[in-house]
Amino acid sequence: MNLWTHSEAIRQLVFSQRLARIAAELMGVEGVRLYHDQALFKEAGGGFTPWHADQYYWPLASDHSVTVWIPLQAVPLEMGPLEFSAKSYLLHGGRELKISDESEQMIAQKLRINDFEHIVEPFELGEVSFHSGWVFHRAGANTSQYMRQVMTVIYMDKNMRLKAPENPNQQNDWDTWCPGAVVGEVIDTPLNPVLYAGE
């Protein structure tokens, strides 16, 4: 995580104006700043990633957050691409669950009951995907013989304020990704630069 602080090549990707502008437009905000980046490499034979919503982990005062999922190679179904439950950001039940076997079972049941559409498709090289912080998603097992290599960037409204943590994970995220930020104030730290400020 925060690989942009260690590699100029990764910094150029994370600071992409094009991707940041798309994130801002999807959220309907003027500009975005960085929450953090994260590499998600799943080894050959790696298991599935349970249903979860990312924003459970984030001490953010609004839902103006979005992640871009950037495969570094084509991701056929056998590699375990990202899967979504369309419009599941409308579901409040399950938001209190961290990623676990319990979240897989309980959230899957809630998604079935509410009849949200399950979307899973392969990714071609060059395709990326954006999802908001409260969209429930998962990823299948990597049953291929190759490492599934993915880079992600998490964006938030450039005016995002820090909220008081509601669980230990949010406290850890505050300490790790927003050091020095103050509850109730805009998250403006050296680790959270503005990536797109609007036209």
pLDDT surpassing 90 at residue 92: no
The pTM of this model reads: 0.91
Q: Are 83 and 139 in contact (CB under 8 A)?
A: yes
Among 130, 6, 123, smallest CA distance to 64 is for 130
What is the tens place of the pLDDT at every residue in 132-191? 999 999 999 999 999 999 999 999 999 999 999 999 999 999 999 999 999 999 999 999
Q: What helix, strand, coil percent values describe the chain, rounded to 5? A: 25, 30, 45
Strand order through the sheet with 137-139: 49-52, 137-139, 82-85, 118-120
3-state secondary structure of 78: helix
